[in-house]
Amino acid sequence: KITPKFCLWPIFSLPIEGIGNTKTRIHPVQERIAKCHGTQCGFCSPGMVMSLYSLLRNIPKPSMDQLMEALGGNLCRCTGYRPIVDACKTFCKATDCCQSKENGTCCLDQEESELLDSELGNRTCEKLFQEEEFLPLDPTQEFIFPPELMNRAEKQPKRTRVFYGERITWISPVTLGGLLEVKAKYPDAPIKPGSLFHVTNIAYILLILNVLISGLTIGAGCSLAQLKDILTDVVLDLPVEKTQTYQALLKHLRTLAGSQIRNVASLGGNIISRHSTSDLNPLLAVGNCTLNLASKDGKRQIPLNDQFLMRAQSSDLKPEEILVSVNIPYSKKWEFVSAFRQAPRQQNALAFVVSGMRVLFEEDTNIIKDISIFYGGIGSTTVCAKKLCQKLTGRAWNEEMLGGACRSVLDEVFLPASAPGGMVEYKRSLIVSFLFKFYLEVLQNLKMMNPSLCPCLPAEYGSVLEDFHCKHYETVLRYQKVDTKQFPQDPIGRPIMHQSGIKHATGEAIYCDDMPAHDQELFLAFVTSSRPHAKIVSIDTSEALKLPGVIDVLIGKDLQGVNSFCEFPENEEILATDEVFGVGQLVCAVIADSDVKAKRAAGLVKIEYSDLKPLILTIEDAIQHNSFFEPERKIDYGDVDEAFKTVDQILEGEIHIGGQEHFYMETQSVLVVPYGEDKEMDVYVSTQHSKLAQDIVASVLKVPSNKIMCHVKRVGGAFGGKTFKTGIMAAITAFARFVNTKELYKCVMKNKIILMKEKLGDIMNSQFILVNGRREVQFAKQNKTKEKKTCNEKKLK
């Protein structure tokens, strides 16, 4: 059974050719990102460069809207987007001007500019770079795919290609019939629309567009970006009453993920995955879409409804079937469709709650003929409010109907207090809010079609119907000019480019994980606690140790005597031994000869817990149980109590701040390299506190700090998260490497003795011996008189 796991695009199909580097030449995009101060830690810079490069290859002079859409899928955690956008704006049609404001004036009008000049004099400037010094962008000098290879590929006969790996077999058919044959042979194998080669692309096989009398038929292999372009054209060509579903889909397609994901993610993949937070499935369900399926035995259609989304066996695909296309019907007159979603960000974020709603009225009335409501993000599947829709059918569209619907919807679309993802009360309020907003949108449309059907909306409801639009605000920034009397070698106040800026932009900057592999290199993965407060009953590592390539599993008892540090809070350990105090606490560490094997083995470690009381999950719980960090730290200046007695007013209240979903662009990374004597060791670590990391490592290894050389070249984002915990991870890694270095040395000596015995005993027929678990030595006897040894002296050193 072959079940490869990937998100959207296999890594081995990505191109590795760079657009520029410091050894040959840098590309204008890379130069401007660096010289416009668009890099800081540099971890996101190659992604920014490639997004902008892709945009310029398609649109050499983009607008600001196109620029912001191209960068919508990129994240930056430390530079801030302003200098990055400043660099990108140098390629746009117009810079430094808002062009047309509502009042018809420019933000850089002469009066405002003269006022700033009179106040600040000639001591400031508006930019920290000079555009005229940049390399020009010449589209004719860009790389192209060699036409000769394209012609050669087109002339070759189209045939199915098969690629074999250790755990995965990749089959790339070129026809729909070939795909159905493969699916019949391997019914459990997943389908990945996308190209490995120019001639083998399943996405092309399933890319269909038919404009029918009843609606559109879209191929399952159509990318979300292509779907967005198709629907945009259709909405412009057809009457409004026919495009209600298409307009709602477009609303979500504009904010679904980022442009990079929309370019490769397919419509079929979005449907078949049936994620609860899918932005499109609720809309496709309310739009009465149907799915066209095919297999080796024939074709059939199934509706995209609540049963399909719940994976009911009677409404699901058979293992040997594939989704070929999707029928999206036109909407009717007096039919309205709306889309709603609420997420942490407008783009590139999973929604908390997503919804699709549709209502059809009796002609020229406000009586509901048919209604459909779907919610996503509130459970394991997309949910249909079927009972509510049955109650509302036949009723008038008025406030009485709305009141009953709001009271009933939470009974059917139930969200338990322990629902995954939390924020239960917030999600419940969104369920009702979306229904209220849908009521207002439909009321407004009814009034436009027949004013006598509904009363005027109150003025305060106007803002509810407004969508959030991203406005490109233009600001005037003034920077202090460099003093002409300042010495050239004095860097203070000068807009100096980041020393590694060019390397950040070209992707040549080396981070901890980019360092070359060392001989006998091992990898470590952590197993963390899944309970907030519990006693560790047992740790079963037997299944993990059975996995080939796994060397050892470290637990807290292995660090006996060194499992703490002087600066740790009381009872905190490097690896938890008896008790855990929070989810994510380090419990054990798996050591293997590859990163993949270490992570796989970490998932096989079984830890049995016994929950402890009290369970403190909120600030209120901590206050109730008198659980505080000690010692108390505060700053008193003067007599605070006396001051409160004499002040005119005392303001009291509470503010609640929840936990943050925090992350770094570069994950926690450590590389330790022992010298081989006196426990001396090089530690390459991505940390903000190298001295603390050095001290913790030295403490665990019981050596003086000067034996540990801690190297920090650069850090790919941190924000305080790489100060204390990074040192703990470095100490565990160093301890694991020291212990296993001795074990490997014993293994080497043992194998050398075996080698000598075999040689003396003349046992020479195809003997294979592993030295250090990695080196291979082969002996073969030729004609029983000669022996041939094939080995590398350097490897046996």
Phi, psi dihedral angles at 306 (to 5 degrees)? -65, -35
**Contact in structure between 718 and 690 (CB atoms under 8 Å):** no
pLDDT of residue 132: 86
**Contact in structure between 70 and 53 (CB atoms under 8 Å):** no
* Domain made up of 1-94+119-155+480-507: CATH architecture: Orthogonal Bundle (1.10)
Nearest Cα to Cα of residue 257 among 341, 340, 339, 349: 349
| Radius of gyration of the chain, Cα coordinates, nearest whole angstrom | 32
* Domain made up of 510-796: CATH architecture: Alpha-Beta Complex (3.90)
pLDDT one-digit tens code per residue, 476-512: 777 888 877 888 888 888 888 999 999 999 999 999 9
Q: Which whole number is the average pLDDT over 17-34? A: 90
pLDDT of residue 2: 28
Q: Does residue 459 surpass a pLDDT of 80? A: no
What is the rounded distance in angstroms from the CA atom of residue 289 to the CA atom of residue 282?
Answer: 11
pLDDT of residue 478: 79
pLDDT of residue 578: 92
Coil vs helix vs strand at 252: helix
Residue 205's pLDDT band (cuts 50, 70, 90): low
Average pLDDT score over the chain: 82
Q: Which of 10-24, 148-162, 350-364 has the highest mean pLDDT?
A: 350-364
Overall fold of domain 333-461: Enolase-like; domain 1 (3.30.390)
CA angle 688, 45, 251 (to 5 degrees): 115
Going by the DSSP 8-state scheme, the letter that residue 29 receives in this structure is H
CA distances from 500 to 20, 392, 667 (A): 15, 63, 20
Question: How much of the chain, in percent, has pLDDT values that exceed 70?
Answer: 84
pLDDT of residue 744: 46
Classify each residue of 207-233 as buried b or exposed e, where b means 16 or more C-beta atoms within 10 Å of its C-beta.
bbeeeeeebbbbbbbbbbbbbbebbee
**Contact in structure between 589 and 527 (CB atoms under 8 Å):** yes
Give the DSSP H/E element, type plus range, for residue 272: helix 267-273
Q: Which of 191-205, 534-548, 716-730, 768-782 has the highest mean pLDDT?
A: 534-548
CA distances from 735 to 399, 729, 749 (A): 69, 10, 22
pLDDT of residue 48: 93
What is the rounded distance in angstroms from the CA atom of residue 286 to the CA atom of residue 297?
Answer: 30
Classify each residue of 466-499 as buried b or exposed e, where b means 16 or more C-beta atoms within 10 Å of its C-beta.
eeeeeeeeeeeeeeeeeeeeeeeeeeeeeeeebe
pLDDT of residue 13: 61
E strand residue ranges, 235-364: 290-295, 298-303, 322-329, 335-342, 353-361
pLDDT of residue 7: 58
pLDDT one-digit tens code per residue, 31-90: 999 999 999 999 999 999 999 999 999 999 999 888 988 988 888 888 888 899 999 999
* DSSP class per residue in 451-519: GGGSPPPPGGGGGGGPPP----------EEPPPTTS-TT--TT--PPPTTHHHHHHT----GGGSPPPT
Question: Which has more pLDDT, 99 or 214?
Answer: 214
What is the amino acid identity at position 743?
E
* DSSP class per residue in 407-429: HHHHHHS---TT-TTS-HHHHHH
3-state helix, strand and coil shares in percent for the chain, rounded to the nearest 5: 35, 20, 45
pLDDT of residue 752: 36
E strand residue ranges, 249-297: 290-295
Positive/negative CA dihedral, 399, 401, 403, 409? negative
**Contact in structure between 431 and 353 (CB atoms under 8 Å):** yes
What is the rounded distance in angstroms from the CA atom of residue 302 to the CA atom of residue 297?
Answer: 16
pLDDT one-digit tens code per residue, 643-695: 999 999 999 998 887 777 677 888 889 999 988 788 889 999 999 999 999 99
pLDDT of residue 208: 62
Coil vs helix vs strand at 322: strand
pLDDT one-digit tens code per residue, 180-189: 998 899 888 8
pLDDT of residue 45: 93
Structure tokens at 311: 């994976």
**Contact in structure between 587 and 528 (CB atoms under 8 Å):** yes
Classify each residue of 38-51 as buried b or exposed e, where b means 16 or more C-beta atoms within 10 Å of its C-beta.
bbbbbbbbbbbbbb
Q: Which residues face 161 on adjacent strands?
A: 172
pLDDT one-digit tens code per residue, 431-448: 999 999 999 999 989 988
What is the rounded distance in angstroms from the CA atom of residue 437 to the CA atom of residue 450?
Answer: 20
* Domain made up of 172-330: CATH architecture: 2-Layer Sandwich (3.30)
What is the rounded distance in angstroms from the CA atom of residue 362 to the CA atom of residue 358?
Answer: 14
Going by the DSSP 8-state scheme, the letter that residue 87 receives in this structure is H
**Contact in structure between 722 and 512 (CB atoms under 8 Å):** no
**Contact in structure between 169 and 126 (CB atoms under 8 Å):** no
Residue 592's pLDDT band (cuts 50, 70, 90): very high
User: How are beta strands 579-580 and 606-611 bridged, if at all?
Assistant: unpaired
Residue 279's pLDDT band (cuts 50, 70, 90): very high
Interacting residues of 465 by C-beta distance below 8 A, sequence separation 6+ = 437, 440, 441, 444
Q: Which of 2-6, 116-120, 617-621, 769-773 has the highest mean pLDDT?
A: 617-621
Q: Where are the domains of the chain?
A: 1-94+119-155+480-507, 172-330, 333-461, 510-796
Coil vs helix vs strand at 770: strand
